[in-house]
């Protein structure tokens, strides 16, 4: 059964061209959040076309400047170590090649000395939630 000529054009327009992405698809492709893409669209930083229903669609070519050749890290890394203490960063001090990160866990604090490159790469800052991963071959106990 074929459609009358006046409806054949409508059927051809019902699906978007394959190179147009929804904001969620674009965000997933770039490895960023949906709210970030929406902000870029609303600020005019990312060009879009609107569907007849008013929805934004993004040309795949418009994403090229935002794509990196460096692979993105997964959102959450699974680590086999069981000695993980989650807390809030209360201080980050960078001094040359090293940085001091203070993590509050309950009423206790843990201070870790790591490279300043690691602090920058992880984008650690005061108020962030982070985990201290403790790896040791021996643990000493003292009476307090």
Instruction: Specify the CATH architecture of the domain 17-66.
Output: Orthogonal Bundle (1.10)
What are the domain boundaries of the chain?
Answer: 17-66, 84-133
Q: How confident is the model at residue 18 (pLDDT cuts 50, 70, 90)?
A: low
Question: What number does CATH give the domain 84-133?
Answer: 2.40.50.100
Dist. CA 84–CA 86, nearest whole Å: 6
The answer, as to whether pTM is greater than 0.85, is no
- First-to-last alpha carbon distance for the chain, in angstroms, is 86
| pLDDT of res. 41 | 93
pLDDT of 5 over the 60 cut: no
Split at pLDDT 50, 70, 90, the class of 65 is: confident
Residue 46: Cβ within 10 Å count? 21
d(CA 52, CA 27): 22
Question: pLDDT category, 73, cuts 50, 70, 90?
Answer: very low
Residues in the chain: 144
Give the model's confidence band at 32: pLDDT under 50 very low, under 70 low, under 90 confident, else very high: confident
């Amino acid at each position: 059964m074929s459609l009358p000529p006046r409806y054949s054009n409508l059927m051809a327009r019902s699906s978007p061209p394959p190179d147009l992405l929804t904001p969620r698809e674009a965000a997933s492709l770039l490895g960023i959040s949906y709210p970030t893409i929406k902000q870029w669209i609303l600020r005019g930083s990312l060009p879009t076309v609107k569907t007849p229903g008013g929805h934004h669609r993004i040309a795949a070519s418009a994403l090229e400047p935002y794509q990196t050749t460096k692979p993105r890290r997964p959102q959450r890394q699974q680590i086999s170590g069981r000695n993980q203490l989650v807390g809030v960063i209360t201080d980050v001090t960078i001094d040359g090649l090293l940085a001091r990160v203070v993590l509050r866990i309950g009423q206790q604090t843990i201070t870790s000395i790591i490279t300043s490159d690691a602090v920058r790469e992880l984008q650690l800052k005061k108020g962030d939630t982070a985990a201290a991963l403790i790896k040791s071959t021996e643990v000493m106990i003292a009476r307090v």
